[in-house]
Each structure stands twice: as C-alpha cells, then as structure tokens.
Amino acid sequence: MSDHYQTLGVARDASAEEIKRAYRKKARTLHPDVNPSPEAAEEFKRVAHANDVLSDPEKRRIYDATGDENGQAGFGGGFGGGFGGAGGFGGFGDIFDAFFQGAGGQQGPKSRTRQGQDALITERISLQEAVFGTDKRITVDTAVTCPTCEGTCCQPGTHPEQCNACGGAGQVRQPIRSPLGTVMTVAPCHNCDGFGSVIKSPCQECYGQGRVRDKRQLNVKIPAGVRTGTRIRLSGQGEAGTAGGPNGDLYVETRVQNDPTFRRDGDDLHMVVRVPMVAASLGTTLKVDTFDGPQEVSVAPGTQSGQTRVVDGLGSGKLNSRDGARGNLVVHLEIETPTDLDDRQRDLLRELAQLRGESEHTGTAVSTTHERGQGGGFFSRLRDRFADQ
C-alpha cells in the first residue's frame, strides 16, 4: 500500500496549504499532456488519490488512525471512480488550479477603482527657512477626481449597466476538451473587460477615467533642519485614483538655496567677519547680524586672522528634534590690513614697528600647509566647502 504522505512528499503534520502546493507541483509535471509516459500516468493517479484523501479532513483523520481512508486498505479500493469521479480526483477545480494556477479564475468581477500614483515635487527654500522651518503654500499639477462625474466615470444622470455577455460576473466559462474529458475554463469577459458592467455613456470631461489633470494648492509645513534632498510626505495628497480610487501620496523635496552671508556645516552655521587691524590688536566687541537679529561677538586683544568665535544655539534647527535644539554659529575672523594709508599713518606705523623692534623688510616664514591653506586662501576654501547648503 502506498503511503499518501510519501507520494506527495510532505510530512505527516503538513498543513492543508502545504498539501495543496505539493499536489499542484507534482500534477504539473505528471499530467498526460505534459508527460505521456505510462509510468507518469500511473504516478499521476497515485498523486491524485493521495491528494483526494489528505485534502479531505475526515478521510485524512481516518487514514491517519487506521491507514485506510475507506475501510479498504491499499491504493485500488480508495481510488474508486478514476479521473472522472469528482470524489476520486478531488474535483475539476483542483485539476484546473493545478495546471492554470487559477489564471482567469478570479471570483466575481474586477473593480474599476485603482489607487492613484505617488507624486514628487521640488520646493526651493532659503537657508533661513531651512534653519527655522516654515509653512509654504505650494501649487501641484496632478490628477484630481473629475468634478463632473465625481469619479463615477459616467455622464451625470447615468450609471454603469450590467454586462449582457457575462451577466455581471465579469467572467465567462468555456468548455475545452482534454484527455481528462471536457473541462470548463474561466476567462475575463471580453465585452466588459472583466468589470461585469459596461459604461455606455462615459463622462465627456474625463473620458470615463473618473479623474482629470488640474492644479491645486496645498499648505505644507517644512520642519526646521531640512537640507537639500529632504523629502516631506503628505499622505493622500498625490494623484487621484481611477474611478474614484484613493489618492497616492505627495512627496515635497526641499532644495535649499545658498545664502550670501552664511554657510552651513551639519547643524552649524558659519560666517566671516572682517576686523580692523587695530581693533584686532587692541581687542573689541563687534555687532554682527544673524538670523536671530544683532549679536555681540567679543574679539580678544591680539586676535589673528582665521581664528573663530562660537556662539552657542544660533545655528540651524535639528531635524526631528522635539526640544527645539539647534546647532551653533561659528564666526570666522578675518583681520583687515589697511591699504589706503596717508603719510601720517605710515609714519605712525613705522614708529610702532621701531618701538616693537620690528623691521618692515623682514618676516617669518610659515608652512604652506598652514591653516590658511593652499590655492585661494582659507576663507575661499571655507566658501567652497559649504557651497551645498
């Protein structure tokens, strides 16, 4: 007597779905139309019978308890009616599923309703808007629900009518002859394309699609800390679906413009402030304009060009921060050397040099890898480094 579990190649505790998959897999390779050999035909019978027993909960219970699903041990008695018997083979539905995997076998008519696609637009914002966040009124050119038919796809006052060819089922059954006899196949109805209904008076504005192209305005909240390439998702604000289907999502991608004064590095802002030579030598307090208004920056006596001062908390807002945390403002000091001296000023500088024991014809060499850098100087490299906001 053949063991049904071994025949299908499944474990004894296999689920109903595992048994069904195993049967389909074997049936597709052993069917007489695919494999006409006598050995394959015999194996096909055993596979079909094993599936018939194990897919029936009551037969399987009896088989597991006694080894005989019908009180007649062995292969022959249990198979009974051969291919033609619905009980012996598991039904024509199983045959159809095994070879066509349910193609065209959907239950009921398909829906015209489809979800709309996602949309992507780019919004340019200033660096200041990126630092603090902003609210924007944007215009979107996309698909919207047709205002004439309101997504029904039909002219006002009309509606879809049941398809006469399939009776509203969306499918038609056709008999085909096979070595197994006549088998009924199921295919989408050609008259209604499987919808089960036909639109005899489609909307003249949307041509039966239920949606049209149009421009609409939306409010979008851009959070603090966004960068170029940051995408903000607006759920359900994308393209309208067909036949009244739900909208897709809209993604707003930010593009941060360069600022003439500030450069951004992560969450920090950088700016360059020029300090007169005498002020840098003696020390002073400078007032600088920031995104937060005027701020005072102290310059210690003897400050050198390229040194920095850090002002805490005046940088960019941090994206997704719940406490409103911000980066810092880094002020780069550039010492200005006067170029328009008059005779009196030159004499005073020479006198200062003599008092300091300096000579206007000598100097101290520095390494070419000094922080002032190569090719264009430190501050030009700073501007290049933060060119992308």
Query: Cβ neighbours of residue 119 under 8 Å, at least 6 residues apart?
Result: 140, 142, 237, 238, 239, 248, 249, 250, 251
CATH number of 4-100: 1.10.287.110
- Give how far Cα 326 sits from Cα of 229, 267, 320, 365, Å: 20, 7, 11, 40
- 289 in Cβ contact with 347 (< 8 Å): no
- In this prediction the pTM is 0.61
List binding-site positions for Zn(2+): 146, 149, 163, 166, 189, 192, 203, 206
Tokens of 87: 């009980």
Give CA 375 to chain center in angstroms: 43
Q: Which CATH class is domain 119-154+203-256?
A: mainly beta
Options 3.40.50.150, 2.60.260.20, 3.40.50.300, 3.40.50.10490; CATH for 263-385 is 2.60.260.20
Q: What is the pLDDT of residue 93?
A: 45
Residues of the chain with pLDDT under 70: 1-2, 31-34, 68-107, 178-181, 360-389
Tokens of 384: 């290049």
For the chain, helix (H) and strand (E) counts, in that order, are 11, 15
As a 3-state breakdown, the chain gives helix, strand, coil percent values, each rounded to 5, of 25, 25, 45
Given CA atoms 9, 10, 11, 12 in this order, what sign does their dihedral have?
Answer: negative
Q: What is the pLDDT of residue 259?
A: 95
Q: What is the pLDDT of residues 136-152, one digit of tens each?
A: 999 999 999 999 999 99
Closest CA to 260 of 70, 132, 389: 389
Name the 3-class secondary structure at 215: strand
Q: What is the pLDDT of residues 82-131, one digit of tens each?
A: 333 333 344 444 444 444 444 444 567 888 999 999 999 999 999 999 99
Vertex 118 angle, CA 113 and 120, to 5°? 155
Question: Pairing relation of β-strands 161-162 and 197-198?
Answer: antiparallel
**Residue linked to tokens 């292969």:** 75
Note whether 119-154+203-256 and 263-385 share their fold.
yes
Separation between Cα atoms, residue 153 and residue 204, nearest integer Å: 9
List binding-site positions: 146, 149, 163, 166, 189, 192, 203, 206
Domain boundaries, the chain: 4-100, 119-154+203-256, 161-198, 263-385
Separation between Cα atoms, residue 285 and residue 276, nearest integer Å: 12
Separation between Cα atoms, residue 26 and residue 48, nearest integer Å: 9
Give CA 158 to chain center in angstroms: 39
